[in-house]
Structure 1
Amino acid sequence: MLKTQSLTLGYGDSIIIEELDLTIPKGEISVLIGGNGCGKSTLLRSMARLLKPHDGDVLLNGKEINKYSSRKVAQEMAILPQSPVAPEGLTVLQLVKQGRYPYQGFLKQWSKKDEEAVEKALASTGMTELQDRFVDELSGGQRQRAWIAMTLAQDTDLILLDEPTTYLDMTHQIEILDLLFELNERENRTIVMVLHDLNLACRYAHNLIAVKDRKVFKQGKPEEVISCDMVRHVFDMNCQVTTDPLFGTPLCIPHGRGRCIVQQTKKTADAVS
């Protein structure tokens, strides 16, 4: 459904991703993980045709994505960038309706199908009762749900999201990820997203993609990807990997407080002596 072939990305002379071959499994949730600046968001933007490659191709349904019209791409995939901003005075309903623009044209105006798609997107995200509220008056979690409703209104089988839980507290992070998980389970949507929280990535992903040194360092099921060695190489952090007691997925416990541990060890040694 979506793949890259020898994809090289960058800004100016700075190469971020180099000769990358990557296949996104259809009907699964794929999560891109990696350290800051490794190219996760750059890769996601390129797959959505928002960034032109230095070299190589992005293939959508077996065809080079740059050979599609912008309207056709928008009918095939929806993307939610990081921290989107709505114009002041826009209601939730008006925002969600924008998701139907790829289907509008000179000869094709607003239809019953468009209306049904918007109603379904509002209901799926729990935003029906808030549809007349202004977007800039909503809480962070509600606002993110409104943006996701807009992407759902596009009615695409493929959804790309860049850090959809950024700036949200833990409760709203879980709400958003539960929503995406339910969409995948219920409607078989293919979802690709960037997440920073490794443990949440492990909980919700079918397919983890760890990015390091311009390449995919490792890809597969969370239990196949997550290890102390991987975390050390990709994130330059020591950790202990155990099992999430609720979901059975890998759970990373980072080492930290190194100075405190050393000090506490010294205090204990002094007390014993």
Structure 2
Amino acid sequence: MFLELKNTAVGYKTPLIRGIETDLALGEICLLIGNNGVGKTTLIKSILNQISLISGDILLDGKNIKTLSNKEIAERVAVVFSKSQIPANYTLTDLVSLGKYIHYPYYFELNAQDQNEV
């Protein structure tokens, strides 16, 4: 599995969501829906290791996120929050392509395989 959540509780001082048991294979799509304040963004930030877990484990490629650097997480996961400021005149292709540039120095262009994947 690419992403695994094992008996995970997310929140701040008290859990917003607890007992999360799920996984996603690479290429699967997951839709998070819910009212304001139920923990959707908190869950995503916990997966990115930006917020500490209350309990449980989150694994990316079988590795606990607590052991991964921010760069290692960014190489595996890309997120665009709904309130993100996207530069004017960017196409969807441009935006998705940004997730590929983490693997290259700033002056490289995407190769044919990268462009196909985007």
TM-score by length of 1: 0.34
Shift of 1:98: 6.0
Query: Aligned pair in 2 of structure 1 residues 31, 115: CA closer, same or farther (>3 Å)?
Result: same
What number of residue pairs does the alignment pair up? 110
| Structure 1 unmatched ranges of 5 or more | 121-154, 156-185, 190-273
* Residues 49-93 of structure 1, C-alpha deviations (whole Å, 9 max, x = no match): 22221111110011101211211111111111221126xxx6767
Match of 2:79 in 1: 79
Equivalent-residue separation in structure 2 for 1:51 and 1:92 (angstroms): 32
Equivalent-residue separation in structure 2 for 1:92 and 1:62 (angstroms): 38
Q: Contact 1:48/1:79 (CA < 8 Å) preserved in 2?
A: no
Whichever residue aligns with residue 6 of structure 1, its letter is: N
Match of 1:63 in 2: 63
Query: Aligned pair in 2 of structure 1 residues 42, 110: CA closer, same or farther (>3 Å)?
Result: closer
Match of 1:29 in 2: 29
* Residues 146-188 of structure 1, C-alpha deviations (whole Å, 9 max, x = no match): xxxxxxxxx6xxxxxxxxxxxxxxxxxxxxxxxxxxxxxx85x
Identity %: 28
Equivalent-residue separation in structure 1 for 2:103 and 2:24 (angstroms): 26
Match of 1:115 in 2: 109
Equivalent-residue separation in structure 1 for 2:88 and 2:36 (angstroms): 34
Match of 1:52 in 2: 52
- The structure in which a higher percent of residues are helix is 1
Whichever residue aligns with residue 8 of structure 2, its letter is: L
- Larger CA Rg, structure 1 vs 2: 1
* Residues 24-58 of structure 1, C-alpha deviations (whole Å, 9 max, x = no match): 23322221223332222221221222222111111
Match of 1:3 in 2: 4
Residue 26 of structure 2: SS of its match in structure 1?
coil
Query: Aligned pair in 2 of structure 1 residues 48, 92: CA closer, same or farther (>3 Å)?
Result: farther
Residue 29 of structure 1: SS of its match in structure 2?
coil
Equivalent-residue separation in structure 2 for 1:15 and 1:73 (angstroms): 23
Q: What are the residue-to-residue correspondences of 1:75-224 with 2, within 5 Å?
A: 75-85=75-85, 99=99, 100=101, 102-103=102-103, 109-111=105-107, 114-116=108-110, 187=117
Whichever residue aligns with residue 77 of structure 1, its letter is: V
Q: What are the residue-to-residue correspondences of 1:245-260 with 2, within 5 Å?
A: none
Q: Contact 1:4/1:58 (CA < 8 Å) preserved in 2?
A: yes
| Structure 2 unmatched ranges of 5 or more | none
